[in-house]
């Protein structure tokens, strides 16, 4: 079974590019929640540990999570409000976020929650960086990650770049580097590597990460993706698509990677197998940008298989 850890929130997507016409639609959001939803769609039994408010948005999110076949047993309620994020798109379809997250529910994840979680049943667990911003939530993450790691779960991490939530870049980098101590598999974008290591050449930055983390998957947008370990390098191109909204592309790639871990008996040793993982995950990431919203495009295995066959 798979556990995703972190924020579950409301994404408000702009319905218009005009500042004179403010129309928004509400959708399920939060990177760990997106990963849980997409991984569940690939028939991996998925759980989400998060916290939402005792409000309308909290009710809506739990109902949506359940509708996507994600187990909601570890989604706790809080008297704090549910977190909101306003997502705006540029002319190139790149997103920017405005967060309403001052002492909201997901920042109140706590060590007391961990006592109610049966961490022994999870083979893979995933987390991101937003859950590490507040001390309460960070302490809860680390307490659970320690238990999972001790139980030999594979820990994956995606350091989502949301620099506006940190006081400064130094805090962001220190938080990410601290989190590396728990991680066996890192999914990171090319942009995030450059942000974390602004004065260090790309290949040197990867070598630094490999001192702590044995497996690195790097997403490169329309240039595909790469895999690095100390002994192996693999790359794969992606497919060409019409971009509508890039929200959730990295989460879709991550779900493909997690599914592949279960399918491959949790092994990342063979270059050919890793090539297949990259191709599979690239397709999921590419299809995710063809519709608006992080979980709006849910391809079937048949869809993915057909695309992989056509692109051989």
| pLDDT tens digits, one per residue of 138-159 | 999 999 999 999 999 999 999 9
Specify the pLDDT at position 69: 96
Confidence (pTM): 0.91
How far apart, in Å, are the Cα atoms of 114 and each of 29, 61, 102, 140, 207? 23, 21, 23, 7, 34
pLDDT score at 145? 98
> Which residues does residue 46 pair with via DSSP β-bridges, in sequence order?
2
Radius of gyration of the chain (CA): 18
Does residue 19 surpass a pLDDT of 70?
Answer: no
User: How far is 204 from 303, CA to CA, in rounded Å?
Assistant: 38
DSSP string computed for 151-198: TT-EEEEE----GGGSSSHHHHHHHHHHHGGG-SEEEEEHHHHHHHST
**How far from the centroid of its chain's Cα atoms is residue 73's Cα?**
20
Which residues face 29 on adjacent strands?
9
Sheet of 24-29: strands edge to edge? 24-29, 9-14, 84-89, 95-100
- The whole domain housing 125 covers 2-310
d(CA 272, CA 48): 31
Q: CA 193: distance to chain centroid? A: 16
Q: What is the pLDDT of residues 122-139, one digit of tens each?
A: 999 999 999 999 999 999
Q: How far is the C-alpha of 145 from the C-alpha of 159, rounded, in Å? A: 15
pLDDT at residue 226, as a whole number: 97
- 241 versus 66: the higher-pLDDT residue is 66
Q: Of 80, 2, 25, 30, which is closest to residue 256 (Cα–Cα)?
A: 2
pLDDT greater than 60 at residue 294: no
Measured distance CA(187)–CA(226) in Å, rounded: 10
Domain of 190, CATH number, reads: 3.40.1190.20
Q: How confident is the model at residue 172 (pLDDT cuts 50, 70, 90)?
A: confident
The whole-number pLDDT of residue 282 equals: 93
Residues 6+ apart with CB under 8 A from 56: none
Give helix then strand counts, H and E, for the chain.
10, 13
pLDDT over 80 (residue 94): no
Distance between CA atoms of residues 12 and 34, nearest Å? 15
**Pairing status of strand 233-236 against strand 95-100:** unpaired
Q: What angle do the packed helices 249-263 and 31-41 form, to 10 degrees? A: 50
> How many beta carbons lie within 10 A of that of residue 252, not counting itself?
29
> What's the rounded mean pLDDT across residues 99-114?
92
The end-to-end CA distance of the chain, in Å, is 31
The number of distinct structural domains making up the chain is 1
CB 148 within 8 A of CB 156: no
pLDDT band at 205 (very low <50, low <70, confident <90, very high): very high
Q: Please list, in sequence order, all residues whose beta carbon lies within 8 angstroms of the beta carbon of residue 300, skipping any fewer than 6 positions away.
A: none
Query: Which comes out higher in pLDDT, residue 60 or 290?
Result: 60
Helix, coil or strand: residue 44: coil
């Amino acid at each position: 079974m798979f556990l995703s850890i972190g924020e579950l929130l409301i994404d408000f997507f702009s319905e218009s590019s005009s500042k004179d016409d403010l129309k928004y639609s509400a959708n399920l959001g939060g990177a760990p929640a997106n990963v849980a939803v997409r991984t569940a769609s690939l028939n991996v039994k998925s759980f989400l540990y998060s916290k939402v408010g005792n409000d309308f948005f909290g009710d809506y999110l739990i109902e949506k999570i359940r509708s996507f076949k994600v187990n909601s047993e570890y989604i706790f309620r809080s008297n704090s409000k549910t977190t909101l994020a306003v997502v705006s798109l540029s002319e190139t379809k790149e997103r920017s976020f405005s967060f309403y997250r001052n002492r909201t529910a997901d920042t109140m994840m706590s060590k007391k929650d961990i006592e109610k979680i049966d961490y022994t049943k999870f083979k893979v667990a995933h987390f991101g960086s937003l859950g590490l911003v507040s001390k309460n939530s960070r302490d809860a993450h680390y307490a659970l990650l320690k238990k999972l790691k001790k139980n030999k779960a594979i820990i994956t991490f995606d350091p989502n770049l949301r620099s506006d939530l940190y006081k400064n870049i130094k805090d962001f980098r220190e938080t990410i580097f601290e989190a590396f101590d728990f991680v066996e598999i890192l999914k990171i974008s090319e942009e995030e590597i450059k942000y974390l290591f602004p004065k260090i050449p790309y290949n040197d930055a990867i070598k630094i990460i490999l001192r702590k983390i044995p497996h690195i998957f790097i997403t490169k947008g329309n240039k595909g993706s790469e895999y690095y370990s100390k002994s192996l390098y693999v790359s794969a191109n992606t497919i060409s698509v019409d971009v509508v909204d890039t929200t959730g592309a990295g989460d879709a790639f991550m779900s493909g990677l997690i599914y592949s871990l279960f399918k491959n008996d949790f092994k990342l040793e063979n270059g050919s197998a890793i090539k297949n993982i990259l191709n599979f995950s690239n397709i999921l990431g590419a299809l995710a940008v063809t519709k608006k919203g992080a979980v709006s495009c849910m391809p079937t295995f048949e869809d993915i298989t057909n695309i992989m066959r056509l692109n051989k």
